[in-house]
Amino acid sequence: MVSRRSHKQQAFAQLFILIGIIILLNILLSSFFKRIDLTADKRFTLSDSSIKLLNDLKDVVFVKVYLKGEMPPGFQRLSTATMELLDEFKAYGGNRIQYQFIDPVYGKSESEITAVLKDFSRKGLMPTNVQQNAGDQYSEKIVVPGAIIYFNGKETPVQLLETNPNEGAQTSLNNSIAHLEHNFSQGIQKLSLIQLTKIGFIQGHGEIKDSRLGDLLNSISGFYQWQWIDLAATVNISSEFTTVIIAKPTQKFSEKDKYKLDQYIMQGGKVLWMIEPLNADIDSLMHKSSFITLDFPLNLDDQLFRYGVRINPDLIMDLQCNPVPLLVNYESQKPNFKLFPCFYFPVFTPDNNHLIVQNTNGISARFVSSIDTVAAKGIKKTVLLHSSGNSRNVFTPWLVDFADLKNRPDPKKYNRKNLPSAVLLEGIFPSIFINRFTPEALKLMDDSLKKPFKSTSEPTKMIVISDGDIGTNEVNKEGTPMPLGYDRYTGEYFDNKTFLLNCIDYLCGYTQHINTRIKTVTLRLLDTSKVREQKVQWQLTNTILPVALISVFGLIFNFIRRRKYARS
């Protein structure tokens, strides 16, 4: 009896000690916050910028997600991924993150549904009509793959499903899930901004100012306040502009305009140069199959050289390129066109790990020149885009004849590789106007521009791209801008928009936007044919096997228990 009582006391003591240890560990660990993501692609790991954004929230962010109810598996997966992301947000933002999932059409009449869908469209959410099939049964359901974020008395829509016509449904869905963090973080940050960062587009030298920049301007409008800057009519470029963009100038820059740009840079201003030194343009081939390239007299060579680069008066020809349609014959008096590789339209595939180009896909360009980096003390140079391993460069004057594209190219001529076409420059830049003016002339410039001359810049950065069309979009017959990166000949979409948005965000210091934009999620697909064939087998396995295992374990446990106590 004594032995049995001491065993009981010992067991109770061990139990109380264990409970005490668990309570103590809970108290200690409650003061620490750590989440462990065991997925290979870290899909549940938020970027540092998103975590900081959530930790700094001063008020409640409320999110309404319109993905609920019976939906096809793809939308269910998107809904689940959205909920998981918002739970991650809640883990860091606490009660300041609240959300609700809603079926926007459940229980509504047709007239009410029509009104709701119109309201969604007005707010920027695009409803979609999807078909569901279960065996031989088909049904239709309206799905709104979007959400609305409410914060600071304002609201902003978030389109959850990103569609790309040249990608499969699974790939588009996967990309949509990968971009959830970026889209929600940007939405919250957009509503948090008190004042938008200002960006200027330089004008006065034939720069692009029409709907060909439409998609780029629409894409930056949420975070940036942009406006045109006519250099000739401007005393100086205000330091209120964090970055200025020069988009495909075609006319000469005067020394006074160059001085305004130079002194803006000396004050720490950033510049995105999208310029080309040759007058090669697709419009030159509208009514003829050939033209001769000539120099654009932009008068910027000496300025860029001082900053650390030289844009060569040449054209990059690359075997990795986009095609163009060319007339091959007439069939029944109708022209017959066929696509041929156009070596003047290279597709750049970034291969370095710099934040601007990390995880970006092919970037489409047209009539691009090569860039040389030159010695410039204190300037760090990073090549962002370059040609493939099968390229060449031809110098002006050069006859561009699209009829030659019908002939098979000689690979031996395409023996150059990695010809730079976009370069990031960072550091302290020297002014091009050092020792260029007499003291009297310099004083006159200072007085007219209302700022004293600076010979060296504050630490700053700029990006030089030798293609003026890299930021332009196609325009449809109605004059509406098409998505930036869309190729009208092939229907493909390239990553031009992502690249340029990354460039602008990097120059403006919003690297957190890039960190969430470049996130990827590995696509792991099931074999759909096997799913159909083995559906019943796996359903039975998943329902019967666990019950069978528990039953067997119970029988074995009871058998051992009976034998043990039968002996005693």
Q: Which of 105-109, 217-221, 414-418 has the highest mean pLDDT?
A: 414-418
Query: Which pLDDT tens digit goes with each residue over 387-416?
Result: 999 999 999 888 988 888 889 999 999 999
DSSP category for residue 310? E
Q: Do 172 and 200 fall within a single domain?
A: no
- Name the domain boundary from 162, 190, 218: 190
End-to-end CA distance of the chain: 15
Q: Please indicate, yes or no, if residue 212 is contained in any of the structural domains.
A: yes
DSSP three-state, residue 389: coil
Which token pair is 227? Answer: 């406006």
Question: So what's the pLDDT on residue 134?
Answer: 57
Section 39-51 average pLDDT: 69
Q: Within this chain, do residues 349 and 488 fall inside the same structural domain, yes or no? A: yes
pLDDT at 554: 80
Question: Quick one: DSSP state of residue 488?
Answer: T
pLDDT category of residue 384 using cuts at 50, 70 and 90: very high
SS3 394: strand
Rounded CA separation 289/294 (Å): 17
- The pTM assigned to this predicted structure is 0.77
Of 138, 162, 190, the domain-final residue:
190
Same domain for 326 and 385, yes or no, is yes
**Residue 132 pLDDT grade (very low, low, confident, very high; cuts 50, 70, 90):** low
- Residue showing tokens 């300037």: 379
- pLDDT of 356 > 60? The answer is yes
Say yes or no to pLDDT of 324 above 80.
Answer: yes
CA 194 – CA 472 distance, rounded (Å): 30
In angstroms, the Cα distances linking 542 to 75, 80, 458 are 24, 21, 65
The verdict on 562 and 473 lying in the same domain is no
Classified as helix, coil or strand, 441 is helix
Residue 515 domain-assigned? Answer: no
Number of structural domains (the chain) is 3
Tokens read off for 151: 């914060």
Bridge pairing between strands 61-65 and 97-101: parallel
What six digits make up the tokens of 444? Answer: 């006159």
In this structure, are residues 425 and 379 in contact, taking their beta carbons and an 8 Å threshold?
yes
Cα dist. 146→90, 176, 178, 180 in Å? 19, 11, 15, 11
Calculate the CA 2 to chain-centre distance: 75
Averaging pLDDT over each range in 137-146, 239-248, 525-534, which range is the top one? 239-248
Residues of the domain holding 356: 196-494
Of the two residues 324 and 563, the one the predictor is more confident about is 324
pLDDT value at 565 more than 80:
no
Question: For residue range 460-486, what is the model confidence (pLDDT) as tens digits?
Answer: 999 999 999 999 998 888 888 888 998
3-state secondary structure of 329: strand
Mean pLDDT of the 209-216 span: 90
Average pLDDT over every residue of 208-236:
91
- For residues 331 and 370, the answer to whether their CB atoms sit within 8 Å is no
Same domain assignment for residues 420 and 486: yes
Of 340, 341, 349, 425, whose CA–CA distance to 387 is shortest? 349
Instruction: Point out the domain boundary residue: 450, 477, 494.
Output: 494
Same structural domain, 98 and 200: no
Helix ranges (H only) for 309-420 are none
Percent of the chain with pLDDT over 90: 42
**Per-residue pLDDT reduced to its tens digit, 138-173:** 667 788 889 999 998 889 888 888 776 556 677 778
Mean pLDDT of 339-347: 94
Query: Could you tell me if 184 and 300 lie in one domain?
Result: no
Residue where the block lists tokens 């934040």: 355
Closest to 142 measured CA to CA, from 152, 153, 132, 134? 132
pLDDT at 566: 65
- 166 inside domain: yes
Degrees, nearest 5: CA angle 192-196-202: 160
Query: What is the domain-level CATH number for residue 267?
Result: 3.40.50
- Per-residue pLDDT at 558: 80
Same domain assignment for residues 557 and 428: no
Helices (H), 332-456: 439-449
Collapsed DSSP state (helix, strand, coil) of residue 160: coil
- pLDDT higher at 134 or 119: 119
Q: CB atoms < 10 A from the CB of 370, how many?
A: 22
Looking only at the bridges linking them, the beta strands covering 460-465 and 270-274 are parallel
**43 occurs within a structural domain:** no
What does the alpha-carbon distance between residue 444 and residue 432 come to, in Å, rounded to a whole number?
17
Same domain, 134 and 271: no
Q: What is the reported pLDDT for 42?
A: 54
